[in-house]
Amino acid sequence: MLWRIWAPPQSTRAVMQSVWIALIPGTLTSVWVFGPGVLVHLVLAGLGACLAEVIGRRARGLAATQALQDGSTLLTAWLLALALPPAAPLWLPFVAGLIAIGLGKQLYGGLGQNPVNPAMLAYAILIVSAPVAMTTGWIVPFQGWSTPMPLTGIGVGAVDGLTGATILDLYRTEFRELTAPEIAQHPLFSVGGLGIAPGVEWVALSHLLGGGFLFARRVIRWQAPVGFLVGLLGLAAFFAIDPDNTVPVLTHALAGATLFSAFFIVTDPVSGATSPRGQWWFGLGAGVITYLIRTYGLYPDGVAFAVLFMNFMVPLIDQYTRPRIHGESRSIRGSVRGRS
């Protein structure tokens, strides 16, 4: 045909399943880098999420059997499992699943009604309430298969080499005494890989692959991911005029949750802006705030807070990015026409 045919997945379930498929490469790479704990987390987060979904639906007087049919609950759990530290205590993913679906979704009326991203809400609540469990569970890349899974969280971080900081953590703590090139000499960079963000970079690139798949299937648009990357990396590139005291742009791109968030978090249609132009601003805002939190904030990675903040901005963004209706003059967009 002369132009593209709109051929999206034909049902909500198919949309969710497309995202599942897109998450597979990143998940497999995570397992390779961080060990089987990722899969255990996936199961536990799934259990917590499903439990909350069933309870929530029961409480709302709906049939619990249909709860899991659309696949969105498991998707939220999956996103959470990938966002949590791989060696976090086992209660963490379960509680995260409960919070995400219980507080983040069912409380507002289920699928499509949540104002904020449920996975990011759970992440943010937990990083505030259980900061130790949420930050110390990072395994040194490629040692995941040789370290036993911690069951309770007690002793986590006690044994040197069992768990460690992420690359972004490392920069944050070492900048007090060292310059960026000196930090790059840290043994954590030499465990393998490209030397940008060891281990994590493979996971990030796998997510890029999954994101490409989602884009090709037209499940996501380019605006939100590109906006996010422009916001985050654009600021990083600008401040890279002082290379000694800033995290390198490539590290910003491949460490932490950058690419994962770009394709799977800021693209959430329910809690994000709804017009393509709005999605661009949404992504841009989330990227800028992520950079600010990473650089000046207390937390090593700020995607969760950035996305939550932008979620609350969505009504405003939607108001001012509404497409011009056919026949409507250009001046009245975003005005409060009709409300007098």
By beta-carbon proximity to other proteins, the closer residue of 161 and 276 is 276
By beta-carbon proximity to other proteins, the closer residue of 111 and 149 is 111
Length of the chain in terms of residues written: 340
CA angle 315, 317, 322 (to 5 degrees): 100
What's the rounded Cα separation, in Å, for the pair 294 and 33?
A: 23
CA angle 273, 67, 260 (to 5 degrees): 40
What's the rounded Cα separation, in Å, for the pair 201 and 252?
A: 10
What's the rounded Cα separation, in Å, for the pair 66 and 75?
A: 15
By beta-carbon proximity to other proteins, the closer residue of 179 and 274 is 274
* CB 105, min distance to other proteins, A: 11
Range list of H helices, the chain: 12-34, 37-59, 72-83, 91-102, 118-129, 131-135, 167-174, 180-183, 200-216, 223-239, 249-254, 258-260, 276-296, 303-320
By beta-carbon proximity to other proteins, the closer residue of 30 and 223 is 223
The amino acid at residue 293 is I
* CB 298, min distance to other proteins, A: 32
By beta-carbon proximity to other proteins, the closer residue of 46 and 272 is 272
What's the rounded Cα separation, in Å, for the pair 13 and 73?
A: 11
* CB 116, min distance to other proteins, A: 13
By beta-carbon proximity to other proteins, the closer residue of 19 and 38 is 19
Q: For residues 202 and 17, is the Cβ–Cβ distance under 8 A?
A: no
Contact residues for 78 (Cβ-Cβ < 8 A; gap 6+): 20, 23, 27, 42, 45, 46
* CB 323, min distance to other proteins, A: 4
Query: Largest alpha-carbon pair distance within the chain?
Result: 68
* CB 91, min distance to other proteins, A: 30
* CB 279, min distance to other proteins, A: 8
What's the rounded Cα separation, in Å, for the pair 178 and 155?
A: 29
* CB 114, min distance to other proteins, A: 10
By beta-carbon proximity to other proteins, the closer residue of 239 and 320 is 320
Other Cβ atoms within 10 Å of 304 Cβ, number: 26
* CB 325, min distance to other proteins, A: 5
* CB 329, min distance to other proteins, A: 8
By beta-carbon proximity to other proteins, the closer residue of 173 and 319 is 319
By beta-carbon proximity to other proteins, the closer residue of 58 and 324 is 324
Contact set with other proteins (CB under 8 A)? 1-3, 5-6, 8-15, 70, 72, 110-113, 219, 221, 269-270, 272, 274-276, 318, 322-329, 336-339
- Short-list 11, 15, 107, CA closest to 57: 107
Strand-pairing partners, residue 160, are 163
